[in-house]
Amino acid sequence: MLQAIGRAIQLPDLRRRILFTLGILFLFRLIAHIPVPSVNPAAVEQLRTALQSNQLAQLLNIFAGGALQNFSVAALGVYPYITAQIIMQLLQPLIPALQELNKEGEQGRIKLNRYMMWLTIPLAYLQGYGQTLTIERTVNPTGDPTLSLFNTSFDIVNNFFPTFVILTTMVAGSMILVWLGEQINEYGIGNGISMIIFGGIVSGVPGLIVQGFQISRAGGVETFLGILAFLAIALLTIIGIVYVQEGQRRIPVQYAKRVRGNKVYGGQSSYVPLKVNMAGMIPLIFAQSIIIFPGVVASWFYNPNGTGLGNQIAGFFYNTFNPTGTSGGVVYIVLLFVLTVAFTYFYTMVLFQQQDIPDSLQRNGGFIPGIRPGKRTEEYLGKVLNRITLAGALFLGTIAILPFVTQSITGIQIGLGSTALLIVVGVAVDTMRQLEAQLVMRDYEGFLNR
């Protein structure tokens, strides 16, 4: 592998792509430290502390590439664009015009991407306002003006212009990150949006290592053994993610021979790869967002020392949908597992319908041996996909609850969640495959045949 990396660096074109990607990631880290206007530095320190206990803020910080903890101009990250992508994917089976655009090839994809960009802007404004209000209440629950996140009142009604400037700056920062991701797609290596998130997560790894050493030094032998167990579980998790992400069922396909003039086309054999985890990390995002939402809303109305029916109802939701709540724990973990499995099946079916593999095979003269083209092929592929998706869904459900299980076993809590780990490993494997393809095109041995 090291020899292959050396060969990749020696090739001028690949070296330029690798250096360009690294340069964009360095630029992103610079942007991640530029604060928004009127931000209160003391409140930012409080924000970093609050991130340790607020699950929603942790999830948003992951997709902001770590920029949320500095409340920089990139605090929204690329999450609005990811939300726009998910919405467009869910709308395609419902809107025939979008389905037709998806089938038009490159030009159709360009139009869909333009629509996603337009949709990203209002979503960014909405997310920016809601996210900032949530963070403000987390950092300053008492409403003390000296502990406010900003030096000015963040109120779109009573203080419109300063609030609008703050939101516009955050939206502009988010769109700049999306643009940087597009530049990586065009001139660099890897998926641009994923690389932006990857860079932000990896930049926090040195801090996690320091945190691990501090925990080790503060504790005794049991703490040291707990850290070793934590590292062993993390290593096994990484291996499992690689195997499941790369796992696929290959359905054999035979193409009929076609004669055009004096030439014969087709007749060769191929296969349709059905991935074990076709949905990727999206089900985890769906499940975590939905299960976090009731607890976050309830926290706005819940007072631990308060009384009354409304406060009791808010307390029930707060404690139930909180893994550290008095009535949460097992209930939260079970709900997270079930939701992750359900969303894996749902999103896999959406993606499978968008690909329209049976129709594509029929148009190109392909068929699965022993299976009639058309409806029978669709039913057969659906059955196979349901079976292999079960393994992927159970695996994603296990990954979702793994941090809680690991903490209960080892007693160690380090701020690298399952979603972040899945993103890091998935992006690393995908980038390696792209480098592999580039080396194979130039008749060099790649990474994966070692």
pLDDT band at 215, cuts 50/70/90? Answer: low
- Determine the average pLDDT of the residues in 392-413: 79
| 195 domain residue, yes or no | yes
| Nearest one of 251, 239, 278, 249 to 393, comparing CA atoms | 278
Structure tokens at 383: 């059955």
- The answer to whether residues 30 and 148 belong to one domain is yes
Range from 127-141, 223-237, 316-330 carrying the lowest mean pLDDT:
316-330
List all residues 6 or more positions away from 358 whose beta carbon is below 8 Å from its beta carbon. Answer: 373, 374, 375, 377, 378, 381
pLDDT of the residue at 415? 54
pLDDT band at 179, cuts 50/70/90? Answer: very high
What range defines the domain where residue 262 resides? 223-416
pLDDT of the residue at 357? 81
- The answer to whether residues 311 and 352 belong to one domain is yes
- The answer to whether residues 259 and 329 belong to one domain is yes
The count of domains in the chain is 2
- For residues 190, 193, 197 and 203, what is the CA-based torsion angle, rounded to 10 degrees? 50
- The answer to whether residues 187 and 306 belong to one domain is no
- For residues 416, 69, 57 and 178, what is the CA-based torsion angle, rounded to 10 degrees? -90
pLDDT of the residue at 84? 86
Range from 201-215, 274-288, 383-397 carrying the lowest mean pLDDT:
201-215
- Determine the average pLDDT of the residues in 353-379: 80
| 250 domain residue, yes or no | yes
| 213 domain residue, yes or no | no
- The answer to whether residues 322 and 404 belong to one domain is yes
| 158 domain residue, yes or no | yes
Q: What is the mean pLDDT of the chain?
A: 78
pLDDT band at 346, cuts 50/70/90? Answer: confident
- Determine the average pLDDT of the residues in 193-219: 74
- The answer to whether residues 26 and 81 belong to one domain is yes
| 256 domain residue, yes or no | yes
List all residues 6 or more positions away from 142 whose beta carbon is below 8 Å from its beta carbon. Answer: none
Give pTM, 2 decimals: 0.78
pLDDT of the residue at 133? 78
Residue 221 to residue 162: CA distance in whole angstroms: 53
Per-residue pLDDT of 251-286, as tens digits, reads: 888 877 666 666 655 567 778 888 888 887 778 877
- The answer to whether residues 4 and 130 belong to one domain is yes
pLDDT at 446 over 60: no
Please give the DSSP secondary-structure letter assigned to residue 38: T
Instruction: Name the most confidently modeled range: 98-112, 147-161, 382-396.
Output: 382-396
**Residue 405, domain CATH:** 1.10.3370.10
pLDDT of the residue at 172? 92
Longest dimension (CA), the chain: 87
- Helix (H) / strand (E) containing 272: strand 269-275
pLDDT at 236 over 80: yes
- The answer to whether residues 310 and 395 belong to one domain is yes
- The answer to whether residues 293 and 349 belong to one domain is yes
pLDDT band at 225, cuts 50/70/90? Answer: confident
- The answer to whether residues 67 and 176 belong to one domain is yes
| 433 domain residue, yes or no | no
- The answer to whether residues 262 and 381 belong to one domain is yes
- Determine the average pLDDT of the residues in 327-333: 68
Burial of 385 (0-12, 13-18, 19+ CB in 10 A): buried
| 214 domain residue, yes or no | no
| 431 domain residue, yes or no | no
Report angle CA 19, 234, 63 to the nearest 5 degrees.
50
254: left (phi over 0), alpha (psi -120 to 50) or beta: beta
- The answer to whether residues 134 and 280 belong to one domain is no
